[in-house]
Structure 1
């Protein structure tokens, strides 16, 4: 399984990567939408973990690119923003999981396995 994590907080990216790598999952990391778009075009991933608050946009900005490049891929939002607007938009975009920061290792692994 291949996973892409898009989060501008390097500590979060490293922590989620560590959780997943211990389960034998291949992980790539991007800290910007621009970098993530290039990675999405170059490689198909089965699961995408997206932060909402990025320096050059939001994780929602990547969903169309993901859906076009990786049909059937799972999209997971990891964000401190979990208000009505964000959760409604996630539902409208058919996001598979919405995990609120701070999160647990179990939430990350469960999102991949679900």
Structure 2
């Protein structure tokens, strides 16, 4: 899962990034309004953690920009301002939740997982397809009730495919989702090929009811057998 953290306080930003990485999220950051706008215009995110008070603009205006772009990212406002009108305005503009500083990291992690379940999985914590069950919270895969070990990247790739089954996934979209905007520094997508190769082998050996097809020169598609 890919998260954008929009926060200008360096110490808090670093603390949150460290915590989110431990939860196995792909994390990108923006320190101000302009940087946040630039990133959401280029990339898609599963969740945006949004500070309201930024040095060069309001986080609430970012919500308006998201709506204008037709984007549907899950947004959790994190702000020191506890005024009711700010909270209501944020929710009216499309925010999914509101968390007032200071807060416990565990609570933030729980809120993130809750909004992801509500929108992506209709409130469930797992994705089921054929004989396959992918548990999002526990980050586990079972096929025919047998546990299948996946590394972090394999899990994220399979999760993305399952959320987009029968859809063509380009190599670029897959790389951005799993590796974040650092993908811009990559010379090629060979690393994706190797992760896909290993994931396919595990699915085939476990006789999964799904397979990953290659679309020559473009990307991949997950289909149910």
- Same fold per superposition (TM over 0.5): yes
Structure 1 gaps, min length 5: none
CA contact (8 A) 2:2 2:46 kept: yes
- 2:71 aligns with 70
The alpha-carbon distance between structure 1 residues 25 and 53, as it changes in their structure 2 partners (threshold 3 A), is: same
CA contact (8 A) 2:2 2:45 kept: yes
- 1:58 aligns with 58
SS of equivalent residue, structure 2 residue 53: coil
- 2:27 aligns with 27
CA contact (8 A) 1:82 1:100 kept: yes
- 1:79 aligns with 79
CA contact (8 A) 1:48 1:75 kept: yes
SS of equivalent residue, structure 2 residue 76: strand
Query: For each residue in 1:2-45, what CA deviation from the matched residue of structure 2 results, as whole angstroms up to 9, or x when unmatched?
Result: 10011110111111111110011000111111011111112111
May I ask how many residue pairs the two structures share in their alignment?
A: 113
- CA shift, 1:97, in A, is 1.0
In the aligned structure 2, how far is the partner of 1:76 from the partner of 1:4?
Answer: 10
- Structure holding more strand per residue: 2
- 1:8 aligns with 8
Structure 2 gaps, min length 5: 115-225
Query: For each residue in 1:43-90, what CA deviation from the matched residue of structure 2 results, as whole angstroms up to 9, or x when unmatched?
Result: 11110011111111111111133342532x110010110112111212
Question: Which stretches of structure 1, 4 residues or longer, exceed 6 Å deviation after superposition?
Answer: none
User: CA RMSD, aligned part only?
Assistant: 1.3
In the aligned structure 2, how far is the partner of 1:31 from the partner of 1:98?
Answer: 19
TM-score, structure 2 as length reference: 0.48
